[in-house]
Amino acid sequence: MSDDKKQQIVSSVPQTGFIGHPKGLFTLFFTEFWERFSYYGMRAILVYYMYYETSRGGLGIDRNTALAIMSIYGSLVYMSGIIGGWLSDRVFGNSKAVFYGGILIMLGHIVLAIPGNVTLFFISMFLIIIGTGLLKPNVSSMVGEIYRENDHRRDAGFSIFYTGINLGAFLAPLVVGTVGMKISFHFGFALAAIGMFLGLLVYISTRKTNLGLAGTFVVNPLPPDEKKKLMTRFSIAFVILLTILAITIPTGMLTFNVFKGIIGILGILIPTLYFIVMYRSPKTSAVERSRILAYIPLFIASVMFWAIEEQGSTILASFADRRTKLDFAGIHLSPAWFQSLNPLFIIVFAPIFAWLWVRLGNRQPSIPTKFSLGLLFAGLSFLVILLPAFIGGSASLVNPLWLVLSYFLVVIGELCLSPVGLSATTKLAPTAFLAQTMSLWFLSNAGAQAINAQIVKFYREDTEMLYFGVIGVLALVLSGILFLLTPKILGYMKGVR
Ligand code: GLU
Ligand code: ASP
């Protein structure tokens, strides 16, 4: 986007009016708050909805299959960010993409709210995957648009937005989780739909006054003839895909395991192709090439980190349900409530970390070291959760405080890696690819969950210690390697700090 346009956008956004920040941040904050409320609310009960027997209101899917579906689902949600980012960049602009995304997400939750069968569940998954791909990367990009380039409030703006994400993620398991687990899963999903509806309401009713021209420009519009060509190609590809599905599903060629394998391959292949295209592009300068090389180990570390973090809503959710003493201190805990711990710790500790980094100034750890710390704590969070089985065996129920400790440790890692990860991606990606930065960053999470889908089958109560142990130690080893490579990576970063 030209500097002129950027200027025009910023001038159209009231620059104060929301806790000392541009008014537009209010709109983006609450839109994303409600979107995450619906997403994490749905995920807090979905896993149980899938594997609980039909007599308990569930779908009665085998538990390990349910855990794999959760991971495939999560992976596709972040993979589709590429499509959402591209559509916004070349066809709709951010603002429309967010709106369409919100509508699809709401419809997805409404479909889940209808008591039904596995078919409805898959339709809902499709809607939410495409909807989140349209909404999530684009709402985040708009946060960047409402500040002047050198506005000192910009970083704080992103932190406030990040708090909004986690506030939604914190409240959702308590509200959607409680209703979903205690009354009916479908009432829970209906609440998730209402959450997204409220998000859309905030967005539609305040975007004109608060966001001005932000999100209304298509940055790199497709020329009309190319649009036509692309539409034809898309339609042909869609028909071919449908034909392949129509042949392979009924004939039993496309089994769940094959599909899972395909997602696993895509999770690794797509980022690899991304790196190759960026590296070989004639628009990429020599310095930028070096920075891409520096980014690769950070990306791999990030995949390992999210693999552990995201198992908080799959493996650890199952652990909360089946291995944890839920009668604690006189109250009966719902297993879904444990999903609130991660975002709660984020909200509490994010300001402390922000303060710490400012306080340390130039003495704060470098980006690679922060990634290495992120992995260290993620690894520890898995090693801690194997201890109760080590001490008391896997037959007796575990004190819930072990889970609290595990979620706490992963959050310490998350605060070292996640906020810095996105900004590192922005700084290290070549300028010609900046529009896709957000999608590139989300690909590390997509890759992580694609891998998770392959490995969750190794988790059983009798293999629990081995499972947590192997993954935990692997994270520590990677953390050590990254730490040793730090000086080299810093060299390749060519001045980026
Ligand atoms: N919990 C984060 C969110 O929902 C994860 C996204 C990421 O991979 O950065 O925004
Ligand atoms: N911490 C996650 C994210 O940053 C939220 C969660 O896992 O509940 O949004």
Please indicate, yes or no, whether residues 277 and 391 belong to a single structural domain of this protein: yes
pLDDT tens readout for residues 416-443: 999 888 888 888 888 888 878 888 999 9
> pLDDT band at residue 462, thresholds of 50, 70 and 90?
confident
pTM above 0.85, yes or no: yes
* Per-residue pLDDT, 487: 96
Ligand closest to CA 414: 2
> Ligand 2 atom closest to Cα of 309?
7
Give me the percent of the chain exceeding a pLDDT of 70. Answer: 100
> Ligand 1 atom closest to Cα of 343?
1
Residue nearest to atom 2 of ligand 1 (CA): 165
Please indicate, yes or no, whether residues 187 and 44 belong to a single structural domain of this protein: yes
* Per-residue pLDDT, 335: 97
Residue 11, domain member (yes or no):
no
Ligand closest to CA 35: 1
Residue 5, domain member (yes or no):
no
Find out whether the beta carbon of 165 lies less than 6 Å from any atom of ligand 1. yes
Q: Output the CA 277–ligand 2 centroid distance in Å.
A: 30
Residue 4, domain member (yes or no):
no
Please indicate, yes or no, whether residues 368 and 282 belong to a single structural domain of this protein: yes
Please tell me the total count of domains within the chain: 3
Ligand closest to CA 42: 2
Find out whether the beta carbon of 445 lies less than 6 Å from any atom of ligand 1. yes
Please indicate, yes or no, whether residues 244 and 259 belong to a single structural domain of this protein: no
Quick one: average pLDDT of 232-261?
Answer: 92
Residue 13, domain member (yes or no):
no
3-class SS string, the chain: CCHHHHHHHHHHCCCCEECCEECHHHHHHHHHHHHHHHHHHHHHHHHHHHHCCHHHCCCCCCHHHHHHHHHHHHHHHHHCHHHHHHHHHHHHCHHHHHHHHHHHHHHHHHHHHCCCCHHHHHHHHHHHHHHHHHHHHHHHHHHHHCCCCCCCCHHHHHHHHHHHHHHHHHHHHHHHHHHHHHCCHHHHHHHHHHHHHHHHHHHHHHHHHHHCCCCCCCCCCCCHHHHHHHHHHHHHHHHHHHHHHHHHCCCCCCCHHHHHHHHHHHHHHHHHHHHHHHHHCCCCCHHHHHHHHHHHHHHHHHHHHHHHHHHHHCHHHHHHHHCECCEECCEECCHHHHHHHHHHHHHHHHHHHHHHHHHHHHHCCCHHHHHHHHHHHHHHHHHHHHHHHHHHCCCCCECHHHHHHHHHHHHHHHHHHHHHHHHHHHHHCCHHHHHHHHHHHHHHHHHHHHHHHHHHHHCCHHHHHHHHHHHHHHHHHHHHHHHHHHHHHHHHCCCCC
Q: In whole numbers, what is the pLDDT of the chain averaged over residues?
A: 94
Q: What is the CATH number of the domain that holds 477?
A: 1.20.1250.20
Residue 278 pLDDT more than 90?
yes
> Ligand 2 atom closest to Cα of 312?
7
Please indicate, yes or no, whether residues 317 and 210 belong to a single structural domain of this protein: no
> Ligand 2 atom closest to Cα of 339?
8
Please indicate, yes or no, whether residues 162 and 299 belong to a single structural domain of this protein: no
Please indicate, yes or no, whether residues 332 and 419 belong to a single structural domain of this protein: yes
Residue 8, domain member (yes or no):
no
Residue 150, domain member (yes or no):
yes
pLDDT tens readout for residues 289-329: 999 999 999 999 999 999 999 999 999 999 999 999 999 98
Please indicate, yes or no, whether residues 27 and 157 belong to a single structural domain of this protein: yes
> pLDDT band at residue 116, thresholds of 50, 70 and 90?
confident
Residue 3, domain member (yes or no):
no
Please indicate, yes or no, whether residues 115 and 242 belong to a single structural domain of this protein: no
Please indicate, yes or no, whether residues 74 and 59 belong to a single structural domain of this protein: yes
Please indicate, yes or no, whether residues 24 and 50 belong to a single structural domain of this protein: yes
Pick 266 or 250 by higher pLDDT.
Answer: 266
Residue 347, domain member (yes or no):
yes
Q: Output the CA 16–ligand 1 centroid distance in Å.
A: 27
Residue 150 pLDDT more than 90?
no
By residue range, what is the domain housing residue 30?
18-221
Please indicate, yes or no, whether residues 155 and 259 belong to a single structural domain of this protein: no
Find out whether the beta carbon of 418 lies less than 6 Å from any atom of ligand 1. yes
Residue 2 pLDDT more than 80?
no
